[in-house]
Amino acid sequence: MSSTAAPVLRMYIGGEWVESESGRTFEAYSPANGQLIASLPEGSREDARRAIRAANDHKHKISGMSVWDRADLCRRIGDVVARHKEELARALSEDQGKPYHTQALREAEAAANSFYNAAEQVKWLETSVIPAKDPNKRVFSFRQPRGVYAVVTPWNFPMGIPSHYLAPALAAGNAVVWVPAPTTSVCAVNLMQCLEEAGVPSGAVNLVTGPGPIVGDEIVAHPATDAVGFTGSSQTGRRIAERAAGKSLLLELGGNGPTIILEDADLAMAGVVTAAGCFHNAGQVCSATERILVQRGAHAEIVERLIEAAGSIRLGDPFDPATTMGPLNNQPTAEKIDRHLADGVSKGAVILFGGQRMPDLGSDLFYAPTVIDNISRDSLLNNEETFGPVAPVMAFDDYDEALAIANQDNMGLVAAVFTSNIKNAFYFAERLRTGVVNVNEHSNYWESHIPFGGVAGTRSGIGRIGGKHTLMEMTDLRTMCIDVSR
Ligand code: NAD
């Protein structure tokens, strides 16, 4: 494909599709075959400021709507997204790389559901009347929009994750300036087109494409944005927390989720289910199973099941109906996996399946599903987020040892435990330092109304997304006191 054949996409500011003020562009390539798929505006700080001005000039259009009208708007957006789900899924497969039939269609449906969910939840967000000591006072609270939200999103679920912010932001009456990840900005433009088609008020949502450290930094740090919603790495989250100090922060960051498998579990089930936690979306999931701690007596069977599951994965063209895993989205992710596996092997781990890229499939972003055993406590696989299709295994002898490993330098997001004993389930659920613990289910299980986020004091973020929890995060609680005697 030549560069002139690819569509030229634009950003969306103040209700118009615009180029960057500099006229500069960047190109989007398919991770599956390296073909050019579109060019996009390379936004500058001035473009970000233009979007912030538009959001401030037009925020009254969304804050001034009744809750019922905002719920209608969200429902209309959900309908448009659902109607265009095949096109959206095609963009996801081309731009992100995920399999069209088995994963991209589901992500497009999930994006529609986020809007339906916000439309339902916002109507029932009741607040309280607070009894006062003073008999002449009537005290109550109500929820108000925060103003202009700076939303910055990653590339692993480029329609699902933005919808977790855009839907509740609009339902709650906020205007938004949104910066998507550069490697999935074609997806962002497609989703933005749905919002426009559904009649989102002009200026209420503004999309700025370009480098995160420039346009993302500008929108989080600028004094005319009031709050930040960010999903991405722990490192970027920390920088954003500094740059946006004093603003309301909802930060969904990284994870290196431990899964603990006890000898008393249904081991055949535990092996198969855990593999899904490792390999879904080629492991590019914040809640992915990043390390598997297996009680020694169960070790041999679990390893065998993981190898079987890895062998049954069909890695290949995202548009082939038989494909169950596509390429990784980008080169830095592939390099990090190379680095983590090499580090593991240098510290005594053994690769039992996969462990290399498969460039013959169309690009060197295809990574074989990998099972690596005997990882050490000081390895990168145990201490950092790998974010790839890797199942790292480690054996343990007693429960306290398992807990110590699981909680060691923990990123605190999601853990899983497999056991047939309810006492053991609670033993671990109450001691693991993560925001979510799934029992007899892989670490990726989540539904979009369930509270999700990291535990305090770790590198996994601040706040909770999910249904009414995001709505509460994205509103200010206003307290009103009335004296009825004067
Ligand atoms: P990243 O932090 O590199 O980038 C995330 C976004 O931030 C991108 O849009 C990027 O352009 C932007 N950005 C980069 N530097 C910035 C800066 N200085 N200021 C403002 N914005 C900036 O993360 P990624 O590689 O795109 O995404 C993968 C990470 O996201 C993983 O760590 C994963 O665990 C995490 N994640 C978390 C969740 C969750 O809900 N907790 C969900 C999905 C992904």
How far, in Å, CA of 174 to CA of 56, rounded?
10
* pLDDT score at 1: 41
Mutation probe of ligand 1 site: the residue of 233, 239, 242, 289 with most atoms within 8 A of C-beta: 233
* pLDDT score at 409: 74
* pLDDT score at 4: 53
Query: Are the beta carbons of 389 and 278 closer than 8 angstroms?
Result: yes
For 398, the token pair is: 């007693």
Q: Is 236 in the pocket of ligand 1 (CB under 6 A)?
A: yes
pTM for the model: 0.97
* pLDDT score at 144: 97
Neighbours of 486 (CB within 10 A): 5
Asked if 286 is an active-site residue, the reply is yes
* pLDDT score at 318: 98
Mean pLDDT, the chain cut into blocks of 10 residues (486 residues total) = 74 98 98 98 98 98 98 98 98 98 97 97 94 98 97 98 98 98 98 98 98 98 98 97 97 95 98 98 97 98 98 98 98 98 98 97 97 97 97 97 91 96 98 96 95 92 94 97 97
Residue with tokens 């709050």: 227
Query: Are the beta carbons of 325 and 369 closer than 8 angstroms?
Result: yes
Q: Is 286 in the pocket of ligand 1 (CB under 6 A)?
A: yes
Q: Which amino acid is at 40?
A: L
- Per-position DSSP letters for 270-304, written without gaps between them: HHHHHHHHHHGGGG--TTS--EEEEEGGGHHHHHH
Asked if 252 is an active-site residue, the reply is yes
For 139, the token pair is: 């005290």
Cα(181) to ligand 1 centroid in Å equals 8
Nearest protein CA to atom 13 of ligand 1, as residue: 212
Q: Is 153 exposed, middle or buried (0-12, 13-18, 19+ CB in 10 A)?
A: buried
For 259, the token pair is: 């899964």
Question: Measured from the CA of 454, which atom of ligand 1 is nearest?
Answer: 41
Query: CA gyration radius for the chain?
Result: 23
Cα(236) to ligand 1 centroid in Å equals 6
3-state class (DSSP) for residue 175? strand
How far, in Å, CA of 408 to CA of 398, rounded?
16
Cα(129) to ligand 1 centroid in Å equals 39
Q: Is 178 in the pocket of ligand 1 (CB under 6 A)?
A: no
